[in-house]
Structure formats: structure tokens, C-alpha cells
Amino acid sequence: MRLVVIGASGLLGREVVRAAVRRGHAVLALGCTRAPAVPPGVETGRLAAGDLAGAERMVLDRFPDAVVNASALSDVGACERDPALARQANTELPGRLAQLAHHVGARFVHLSTDMVFDGTRGPYRSTDAPAPLNVYARTKLGGEEAVMAAGRHGACVVRSTPILGNTPGGDRTPHERLFLDWKAGKVTRLFAEEVRQPVSAPNLADVCVELAERGNLSGIFHWGGRDAVTRLELGQRIARRFGLDPAGLVEGVSHADIPGLPARPRDLSVELHPLSGKLRARPQGLDEILDGLEVPRGCEDWWRARTGGDVVRRLEQGLDF
Ligand SMILES: NC(=O)c1ccc[n+]([C@@H]2O[C@H](COP(=O)([O-])OP(=O)(O)OC[C@H]3O[C@@H](n4cnc5c(N)ncnc54)[C@H](OP(=O)(O)O)[C@@H]3O)[C@@H](O)[C@H]2O)c1
């Protein structure tokens, strides 16, 4: 299958490229400001922010069998600061890509977020009414609507939970950010009342590629891990996973402790049905997800000094591309 991955320089997009290559697909991997780092033999390119004409040329030149859109302005603070850019990246581009995919008869798989809900009554079903609390979430919901409006048949929206994984820079994912704090001598304050259901980047990537391959699934779906935990518990379990004592590294904090805190969703746990019963990919438990995490690049010496452990890099994680 000829597959185009947009947002291939990002956390998830990089794993989607790897999953697609493993499954024998011919991949074009597109970044925006960064060139994607890809396995040998994968073609790469860039799609500049706001370049809808470039998106059109790319799809009409290639006539792909499927497009996976893992691009987004995913930083919640950046979306608040520049709502127009957020709308362009999270609503307008997905809508145009979905129209183009529909036009050439390509499958379209688009990533959205559990944050379309306000967190007042999780676990959420994919049919529950969204109620986004911030610009990121509102523009992502706009993206879902634009994708479905372009043609429900042949398009999937996958609402993901927070993504755990390893990145080449060692500074993107939750455990990498925790390590950066700890290495800097900080105690990380984590919300004890916020419930999330993390997923691993490779597992979510497998789901995206499987959906790209399957002609009989379309609509809005939820995907995450099997286990919902508080952010505090997640931080504690990450510390323990690496042989570290959570006391002195993480501490619980409550929304009420922070004056002027913008509204934040409390419980964003999700039901994985019906997708979980329809795919070969299986939702992972948190222990399995944590087992796939590595000591982040740049934190090896700090971790060795703290634990006396050896940093083991799994070759198959291939962080160099
Ligand atoms: N990370 C999470 O925990 C999480 C949780 C739930 C849902 N999601 C969703 O999952 C998807 C993947 O997220 P991620 O964490 O992998 O994102 P990420 O690491 O921030 O990567 C975003 C990607 O989008 C590209 N991009 C940014 N602005 C763009 C624009 N205007 N036009 C075209 N490309 C643009 C970036 O390119 P450059 O870097 O080259 O500029 C990068 O490749 C997104 O839809 C996100 O909303 C993520």
C-alpha cells in the first residue's frame, strides 16, 4: 500500500512510519519544520504550515492508498497563545486533507484527543457529547467535524489518550519530562485528581496503520491503554519502573492549590469499545507500556549515579532514526 504520513517528525508520526515500514508499506513521511528521521529507504518531505495548496499537490501527485494525519499544533499553551495557528493546523489542514483523500479514494486516518471532553464524567464513550475546555481541544474537535464532513465513509478519527514513548531528543514524552525535572533537582508536582489512561506510541501507531489498511472501519473511535491512573500515580509508577524512589521526586498537587488555574479536565478515561474488539492490535496494560520506556537520552549519567544500573537500549527501538 502507498501510505502518506503527515506529522512524521512528531512523537506519534515517527512511530507510524516505523509501523508502516514493518508491515511492508511504501511510505512518504512528511514533517513541517523538521525533516522526519526515518528508516532507510523511506522517502521524506515537508509540508509547510498553512500550505493547503502543497497538501493538494502532494495528494494529487501521489494518489496514495491511505493518508495518516498525525500532525497537529499539540502544545496546549501554544494554542492559547496563537488560536489562528491552532485552527489552521488542527481544523483547516485536517479538513482539507480529508477532502483530498476522499477525492482520490484514499483511506484517511486522523488523530484527535481525549481532551475534546471536559472530564466531568469519564469514562467516555465515543458517542458521548464533547465539551472542550481550551483552544487546543476546541480546534481538535473542529478537526474531527471537518474530517467527518468531508466524507464519513473511508475516514477514521482516533481520539488518543496521553502518549508515552521514547524520542530521539529525550525531552518530549511524560517520562522524559519527568527525568529532565529530576536531573535538574526538581520535585515534580502532579495533579492527584486528574485521571488519564495512557497509551504507548508504538501501540497507537499499530492501530493507525491497521485502520489505514482496513476498508470496513470508519467513524470516530477511542484508543488508549487498558489502565486509567491519576497523574500522580503515573509519575510514581514511572519512578519505580526505573528503580527510583518516588518520594522526593514527585508530589501530589490539587487544582485548588493553584490560584487562577484555567479549567482542566479531571477524568478523561475512555471506553475502548468498539475498536478494541475489531483490531488485531490489543490495548496494553500500564506495566507493559512502562516496560517499553527507556532512560531518556541525556539522562543516562544521572540515572546511573542514582541507581547504579546499566542503561540498556533495545535495538529494535531504533532511536537513531
Ligand atoms: N502527545 C500526546 O500525548 C497526545 C495525546 C492525545 C492526542 N494526541 C494527538 O496525536 C497526534 C500526534 O501528536 P504528537 O504528540 O505526535 O504531536 P507532536 O509530537 O507535537 O508532532 C506534531 C507534528 O505535526 C507537525 N506540525 C505541526 N504544525 C503543523 C502544521 N501547521 N502543518 C503541518 N504539520 C504540522 C510537526 O512538524 P514539525 O515538528 O516538523 O514542525 C510534527 O511532525 C496529534 O493529532 C495530537 O493532537 C497527542
Asked if 68 and 4 count as a contact pair (C-beta separation under 8 A), the reply is yes
Q: Is the pLDDT of residue 19 over 80?
A: yes
Report which ligand 1 atom has the smallest distance to the Cα of 163.
Answer: 3
Identify which of 203, 88, 105, 223 has the alpha carbon closest to the alpha carbon of residue 157. 223
Protein residue with its CA nearest to atom 43 in ligand 1: 7
Can you give the pLDDT at residue 318?
A: 54
Share of the chain above pLDDT 90, in %: 94
Can you give the pLDDT at residue 125?
A: 98
Protein residue with its CA nearest to atom 7 in ligand 1: 113
Whether 7 lines ligand 1, by a CB cut-off of 6 Å, is yes
pTM, to two decimals: 0.97
Can you give the pLDDT at residue 315?
A: 53
pLDDT in tens, 193-221: 999 999 999 999 999 999 999 989 999 99
| Best residue for ligand 1 mutational test, from 32, 58, 234 (most atoms within 8 Å of Cβ) | 32
- Determine the Cα–Cα distance for residues 205 and 96; give it in Å rounded to an integer: 22
Domain range list for the chain = 2-162+199-223, 174-195+229-266+285-317
**Ligand 1 centroid – CA 245 distance (Å):** 32
pLDDT averaged over every residue in the chain: 95
Can you give the pLDDT at residue 309?
A: 87
Whether 49 lines ligand 1, by a CB cut-off of 6 Å, is yes
Mean per-residue pLDDT, 176-202: 98
Whether 59 lines ligand 1, by a CB cut-off of 6 Å, is no
Can you give the pLDDT at residue 310?
A: 86
Mean per-residue pLDDT, 2-27: 97
Q: Is the pLDDT of residue 53 over 90?
A: yes
pLDDT in tens, 217-276: 999 999 999 999 999 999 999 999 999 999 999 999 999 999 999 999 999 999 999 999
pLDDT-derived band of residue 313, with 50, 70 and 90 as boundaries?
confident
Report which ligand 1 atom has the smallest distance to the Cα of 111.
Answer: 45
pLDDT in tens, 75-96: 999 999 999 999 999 999 999 9
Query: Does 124 qualify as catalytic in the annotation?
Result: no
Q: Which of 108, 117, 124, 136 is catalytic?
A: 136
* CATH number for the domain formed by residue range(s) 2-162+199-223: 3.40.50.720
Q: How far from 64 is each of 9, 10, 39, 50, 296, CA to CA, in Å? A: 19, 21, 20, 21, 35
pLDDT in tens, 142-171: 999 999 999 888 999 999 999 999 999 999
